[in-house]
Every structure is written in C-alpha cells, then in structure tokens.
Structure 1
Amino acid sequence: MNYQHAFHAGNHADVLKHVVLLAVCDALTAKPAPCFALDTHAGSGVYHLREERARRTAEADEGISLLLAAAPKQPLVARYLQAVAACRAQHGADAYPGSPWLLAHALREQDRIACCETESAVAGALRHAVGGDSRVSVHTSDGYAAMKSLLPPRQSGQRFNRGLVLVDPPYEAQAAEFDIALKAMRDVLARWPQGIQMLWYPIKQRRTLTPFVRAATRLQSGGSLLVELLVRADDSPLRMNGSGVLILDPPWQLATALAPALECLRNAIGHAGSDTRLHWIREPT
C-alpha cells in the first residue's frame, strides 16, 4: 500500500472525521453498558506535524492549525480541540491524534477497541502510541476481513451489544473502494445490526459520488446519514475539496448536534465556495 496518512494528518478531512467520531463516542458512553469499537484502517495512532512527511504537504496548515488559531467555543468542536490538546500533552506539542488514539481517549475502562493495520511497521507504531492500553488490541491484518472475523464482538466471554465500526480506507482503488466498503458494511448489518457504522470518503467533484450515494441508500439500516464539509467549491478532480462521513444507524439526535458544529468548521477553515451538508439518505426507523 503506497498511501501514508502521515502526509495528510490534521488536514480538513481529519478535522471533520474526528469531530464526528468523538460525537459518536460520547453518545455511546452516555449509556452505562460497555461498547466495542473496530477501526478497520487504523494507521499509526499518533502523527507529528513538524515531521518531514507532514511538512512536505503542509495539509495540517489548512486543517487543525487554522482551527486551533480560531479556537471556536462550539461544544463539539471545542471537545475535539480538547482531545488534541490531551494528545499533545502526552506526545509532544506537534502531535496529532489518529482515530485509534481518539477512541482510546473517548471510551471507558469497560469498553474495548480493536484496530487493524496491514503494514507491520505502522502496526508497531500504533502499539507504541496506545502505550500498552489493555483495552486496545492491534491486529496486523486486513480491516475488511476483520469485519467478518471480529464481529459480532466477543472478548473474554463478554458479548458487546453496542458499539462502532469505523471504516476509513485510503481509496487507492478509487471508485472501486466504495463498492468494497459498502459490501463489507452490508455484511456487518447482517452480523451485528446494533452497531453504528461510519464510512469516511473524499470529495473532489460531488457529482461523481452519485453511484455511491445511490448504492448506500439501498443498505437496510435503521437510518443512513451523510455528513459533509467542503472547504472549497467541488469543481476540481485534481484535489480533495472536502470529505464526508456516511453513518449507518447514527445515535439519536446526532444530526441535530452536528449541524452547528459543521457551520463552525466551515467558518473556521473554509474558503470561497465552502459548504456543508447533513442529509438523510435513509430516514430513521
């Protein structure tokens, strides 16, 4: 796999994805029952924005750096910035947390997290980043395969009836990645229907997403929500102009909570032509 997230850590796509991820985690932990999270494309857990790969693209300059400078008080965005600050207190002033670190930060002692990463060196860095946290298991394996082997989740005889599957592929297969991801999510709906599923996706030209949205509408979930942030007009196929998250069976009132957060992000890191979108492609049942 050629994709390395270290080149893109802290960009506008990470900002959106991680604000949404923390909001979902907080909804899960609002109830006392334990929950399980599976991160299918986990990465190394923590990134350093002064490191050469990050500075080569400087994508964080138009993402987390802009947001930190604006320091908005909107609750969901402020909650995310507090998590970034906690990561930096632990790993250094230029650290940026990946989704495994955020899951470990947001979830509780009784919860469990499984992270999949195909590259052995990256998986080793992830094990170091989570610091021997007994709640977190790291698997050097394919994340799509893990959606079958690890779900429904059971650990030490305990069965988890609540939780989250985060699917964050690199899209090296480009449009074909949508078909792979949606098939895997369809299987999860059959294996673990009570789990929340999140699929992150890039936006270059929104019109090219029509087949994906049409296919996602056919997933037999209890509700399917699209959450999107465009930081500029979606009129160029040569760069990522925004990103989105498809959420299957989102927590109650998540869409209502996210609306002001999206507008806050747009104001803080958006450019001319920026936009947001919250759209139910399958109404909640």
Structure 2
Amino acid sequence: MNYRHAFHAGNHADVLKHIALLAICDALVAKPAPVFALDTHAGRGLYALDSNSAQRTGEAEGGIGRLIAEAPKHPAIARYLAAIRACRHEHGQASYPGSPWLLAHALREQDRIAACELLPEEAGQLKSVFERDPRVAVHARDGYAAMKALLPARIGETRYNRGLVLIDPPYEAQLEEFDTAIAALREGISRWPQGTFALWYPIKLRRALQPFYRRAAAIPAKSSFVAELLVRADDSPLRMNGSGLLVLNPPWQLDQSLAGVLPLLSKVLGEGPGAASRLEWLVRAA
C-alpha cells in the first residue's frame, strides 16, 4: 500500500468526514454509558499542513483553509472549527487533526479508542501522538481484521454496548475496495448490532457507485443513510469530485444536523456548477 494521507489532510473530504465524526461522538457522549470507538484506518493521527507533502497538493487550501476563511454559521461547523483550534493550540498553527485525534478530543475519560494502522511508519507516528493517553490503544494491524478481533467491544470487565466504528480505507484497489468494505460492515454489524458504523467513500463517477448503494441498503442495520458532498460534477473518473459517508445505525437527529450543514459546505467548498450535496435514507428505522 502506497497511500499517504499527509498529501490530502484537511481537504474537502476530511472536512465532511470530520464534521460528521464529531457530530456522532457528541451524540454518543450525551448519555452517561461508556463508549468504544474503533478507527480501522487511522493514519498517523496528526498532520502538518506546512509539510512538503501537504504543500505539494495544496488540497487543504480548498478544504479547511477555505472553511476557516468563510466560517459559515452552523453548530456542526462551529464544533469542528473549535476542535481545529484546540489542535493548533496544542500542536502548532499548521497542524491538522486526523480522525483518531478528533476521537480522543471528543470522547471522555471513561471511553476507549482502538486505532489501527497497517503501515509501520504511520503506526509509529500514531503511537507517539497517543503515548500519554491511556484511553487510546494503537494496533499496528489490518483494520478490517481488527473488526473481527475487537468486536463486540470488551476491555477488562467492561462491555461496551455503545460506540462507533469508522472505516476510512485508501481505496487503492478502486471499486474493489467497496467489496471488502461491505463485507466488513456485514461482519461488524453481526458482531455489534447496536454500534454505529460509518464508511467513508470517494465519488468520481456516481453511476459507478450504484451497485454499492444497492448492497449498502441490504446490510441488516436498523437504519442507514448516505451523506454526500460534491465539490464539482461527478463526471470524471480521473479525480475525486466529492465523497460520502455511509452511516449505519446513526444516532438520533444526526441526519438533521448533516442535512443542515451539507448545503453550506457545498457552497463554500464547491469549485464549479456541479457542486452539490445530498442526504438520502437507505433504510429507515421501523
């Protein structure tokens, strides 16, 4: 695997993914019971937007950079930007938090996080970020396999009935990655049926995703929806034109929060007339 997220940190896909991630976490911690979070493709946890990698692509300028500059009014955006400020206060003004950092920021002392990363160099960096945080266990292993090993979540005498699994693979295998991800979601929901599962996916040609939508709708979750952000028309297979999140067992009112923020993100981050957003239920709870 050759993918390095350092080239893409803070881009429009990260903005969508991380706003939704924080909204899910906030919904989970609204109740007192402890929460377990599994990040299957965690990366290094913390990125520098002034690094050579980030500067080579400049993707963060069209993502978090543009959002900070315009800062449209919405509670979910304000929550996300507050987390960015907290990260930069701790790690410097060029820093950008990956999903494991945001999980650690949003969850509580009684909650636990398992962060998986297969690449040795990235896993080593991830361990250094959380070496003083006993809530976070870093696993240098395949995240899909970890779902079988770590779900249902039990640590010591504590069984975690509530929590989140974030699946954010690099899609180096292109459309074949969807087969692996769907299989992992089916396995995960069978092991932990009350958990919330969120799968991030890129959008190039939307019509190529139709089999994925059909298979996602057939996963036996209580409810599920997709939330998508396009920054340009979804008509080119050569670049990522947007991205989406498939959310299984979403927390109460998450759809309302995202439905309100998605059009704002499309307006601020859009790069042409094809910029758009949508939230569509695949399965509604009975």
TM-score (normalizing by structure 2)? 0.98
Report % sequence identity. Answer: 61
Displacement of 1:38 in angstroms is 0.1
Separation in structure 1 between the aligned mates of residue 190 and residue 266 of structure 2, nearest angstrom: 36
Map of 1:135-284 to 2, 5 A cutoff?
A: 135-272=135-272, 273-284=274-285
2:36 counterpart of 1:45: no
Aligned residues between the structures: 285
Establish whether residue 20 from structure 1 lines up as the match of residue 14 from structure 2: no
Deviation, 1:26, is: 0.3
Separation in structure 2 between the aligned mates of residue 143 and residue 132 of structure 1, nearest angstrom? 22
Q: Distance in 2 between matches of 1:38 and 1:126?
A: 14
Distance apart, 1:258 and its partner CA? 1.1
1:71 has 2:68 as partner: no
Q: Which amino acid aligns with 1:173?
A: A
Distance in 1 (CA, whole Å) between partners of 2:130 and 2:231 is 31
For the residue of structure 2 that corresponds to 1:182, the secondary structure is helix
Displacement of 1:157? 1.4
User: What SS does the corresponding residue of 1:31 show, helix, strand or coil?
Assistant: coil
Cα distance in 1 between the residues matched to 2:190 and 2:71:
42
- The DSSP-based 3-state class of the residue aligned with 2:38 is strand
Q: Hey, what's the Cα distance between the residues in 1 that align with 2:39 and 2:132?
A: 17
Deviation of 1:263 after TM superposition, in Å, equals 1.4
Residue of structure 2 in register with 1:95 after alignment: 95
Once the 2 structures are TM-superposed, how far is the Cα of residue 130 of structure 1 from its aligned partner? 2.4
> Which segments of 5 or more consecutive residues in structure 1 lack a partner in the other structure?
none
Q: Distance in 2 between matches of 1:53 and 1:283?
A: 42
Letter in 1 for 2:227: V
Match of 1:36 in 2: 36
Deviation at 1:131, TM superposition (A): 4.2
Aligned to 2:57: 57
177-186 or 256-265, larger mean C-alpha shift: 256-265
Post-superposition CA distance 1:172-202 (Å, at most 9, x none): 1111110101101101111110100000000
Q: Which residue of 2 aligns with 1:80?
A: 80
Distance apart, 1:42 and its partner CA: 0.2
Output the CA distance in 2 between the equivalents of 1:77 and 1:15: 9
Q: CA deviation at 1:271?
A: 2.3
Q: Distance in 1 between matches of 2:16 and 2:49?
A: 18
Q: Which amino acid aligns with 2:30?
A: A
Q: How far apart are the structure 1 equivalents of 2:256 and 2:71? A: 22
Q: Deviations over 1:46-87 (max 9, x none)?
A: 000010001001110110000010022211011001101111
**Structure 1 CA distance, aligned partners of 2:2 and 2:107?**
31
- Give 2:123's aligned residue: 123
CA distance, structure 2, for counterparts of residue 114 and residue 36 of structure 1: 8
The one-letter code of the counterpart of 2:222 is G
Secondary structure of 2:244's counterpart equals strand
- Decide which moves more: 118-127 or 56-65: 118-127
Alignment partners' CA distance in 1, 2:199 and 2:284: 18
Query: C-alpha offsets along residues 258-282 of structure 1, whole Å, 9 cap, x if unaligned?
Result: 1111111112111221100100011
Alpha-carbon displacement from aligned partner over 1:154-183 (angstroms, at most 9, x marks no partner) = 112110000000000000111111010110
